[in-house]
Amino acid sequence: MKFSKSTDLAVHGLWILAQNRPQQVFIAELALKQNVSQTYLAKVFQKLARKGLVNSVRGKRGGFCLARDPEGISIADVARAVEAEEPFFECLAPVRGCEGQNDCKVRETFLHAGEVMYEVLEKITLADLLLVAQNNGRSKWLR
Amino acid sequence: MKFSKSTDLAVHGLWILAQNRPQQVFIAELALKQNVSQTYLAKVFQKLARKGLVNSVRGKRGGFCLARDPEGISIADVARAVEAEEPFFECLAPVRGCEGQNDCKVRETFLHAGEVMYEVLEKITLADLLLVAQNNGRSKWLR
C-alpha cells in the first residue's frame, strides 16, 4: 500500500516546471535533475499531459510546460493523474461471491479512508511548494 | 496506489474468525469461504499471527482463532499487519540527490495523508463488522 515512485517523480517534475515558468523544460533536463531514465519519465509526463496538467511542446526544441497556474494544480491532481488506473481498494467481492458489494462496511470504510487521504493532498498545490522553495532562498529539494 | 487483495482477504478472514469465536477455524475452510488458494491465505495469516492478531492452533486439527477480542482489532491493525513491509510513500530523495529529505513539504504532505487515512481505519473494529452482520440477520458479505 503505497504511492508509486512515478507519483514522486511527477510532483517533483511539475515543481521544476513551476519554477521555470513560462519557459518550457526539456524531458532530458527533467530526467537529469531527478536522476532517472528519460524514457521512464516521459511515460509519467504523458499521463500528466493526458490529464491536462502539462502541455507538451513538439519538435527539436520540444519539452513540457505547466498547463495551468501553480495555484490550480494540487498534489491530489498529480497523484490522481498518475495512479488513476488503480482502484484504491481491491475488493474481492466478485471472487468471494459476496452479495453485498455495494453496501459492505469494509469497502465503505476503505473508500472513506481514501477520500480523507485525498482531501489532505488536495490542500497543497504547486504554489505552496514554490513558496517553500522561495522561503528557503532556493529549492533545497532539487539539485 | 491501493491496498492489496491480501488486506481484503485478511479483514474478511478475521471477520469469519470473529463470528466463530471461541472455536478455531481451519485454514482450508477460510480459503474455501473466500474462494482463494489455501497456500496464499496461509501466508496472509502468518503475517497476522506474527503481529499478534490471531493464534494458530497446531496439529492435525490445527487452525486459527482471534488472539484478542473483536473490539480490540481495528481494520487499521489488519491493514498495518499485512501492508507493513511497504512504506506509504516512496520518496526518491536518495536517487534524486535531495538535501532536504527530512523536512520536504512533499514528503510531509504524503505522510500526513497516510496518517489521516489510517485514523479512519482505526475507528472500525471487528466488533463493528459483527454488529453489521447481526443487524442484517446474517453475514450477507460472506457465503
Whose cell is 497456500? That residue is B39
**Residue A42, C-alpha cell as written in the block:** 516521459
What's the pTM value of the predicted model, to 2 decimals? 0.83
Cis bond upstream, residue B22 (ω within 30): yes
More confident residue, B131 or B141: B131
Q: Three-state DSSP class for B1?
A: coil
Query: Which residues numbered 14-53 in A keep a CB inside 8 Å of some CB on B?
Result: 15, 33-36
**Which three three-digit cell numbers place residue A34?**
531527478
- CB-CB contact of B97 with A141 (8 Å): no
Contacts (Cβ under 8 Å, ≥6 apart) of B64: B17, B24, B25, B27, B30, B45, B48, B49, B54, B55, B56, B57
CB-based contact, A9 to chain B, within 8 Å: yes
Chain A interface, best mutation among B141, B142, B143, by max A CB count within 10 A? B141
CB contact under 8 A, B95 and A34: yes
ipTM of the prediction: 0.83
CA distance B29 to chain A (A): 13
Enumerate the β-bridge partners of residue A54. Answer: A66
Residue B40 pLDDT > 50, yes or no?
yes
Distance of CA A78 to the CA centre of its chain: 2
Q: Using an 8 Å CB-CB cutoff, list chain B residues near A120.
A: 109, 112-113, 116
pLDDT value at residue B25: 94
pLDDT tens readout for residues B13-23: 999 999 999 88
> Average pLDDT, stretch B99-118?
83
Q: B65, B21 in Cβ contact below 8 A?
A: yes
Query: For an interface test with B, which of A110, A119, A126 has the most B Cβ atoms less than 10 Å from its Cβ?
Result: A110
Distance CA A42, CA A27 (A): 7
Q: pLDDT digit of tens for each residue in chain A (143 aa)? A: 678 889 989 999 999 999 999 889 999 999 999 899 999 999 999 999 999 999 998 876 668 999 999 999 999 999 999 987 666 777 777 777 776 666 788 888 988 998 999 999 999 999 998 887 777 655 444 43
Inter-chain touch A11–B106, beta carbons under 8 Å:
yes
Burial of A135 (0-12, 13-18, 19+ CB in 10 A): exposed
| Averaged pLDDT for residues B119-135 | 88
Contact list, A110 vs chain B (CB under 8 Å): 3, 75, 121
Closest by CA to A88, choosing from A64, A70, A114, A106, is: A114
Interface of B with A in 122-141 (CB under 8 A): 124, 128-129, 132, 136, 140-141
The pLDDT assigned to A126 comes to: 95
Give B138 to chain A, closest Cα distance, Å: 12
Query: What is the rounded distance in angstroms from the CA atom of residue B5 to the CA atom of residue A102?
Result: 17
- pLDDT surpasses 70 at B1: no
The number of C-alpha atoms within 13 Å of A23 and in the hemisphere containing its C-beta is 8
At B52-103, the pLDDT tens digits run: 999 998 876 668 999 999 999 999 999 999 987 666 777 777 777 776 666 7
Alpha-carbon distance B83 to B80, whole Å? 5
Report the length, in residues, of chain A.
Answer: 143
8 Å CB contact of A143 and B96: yes
How many C-beta atoms surround the C-beta of residue A4 within 10 A? 16
* Contact (CB<8Å) A96/B34: yes
Closest C-alpha among B39, B70, B38 to residue B54 = B70
- Specify the pLDDT at position B17: 95
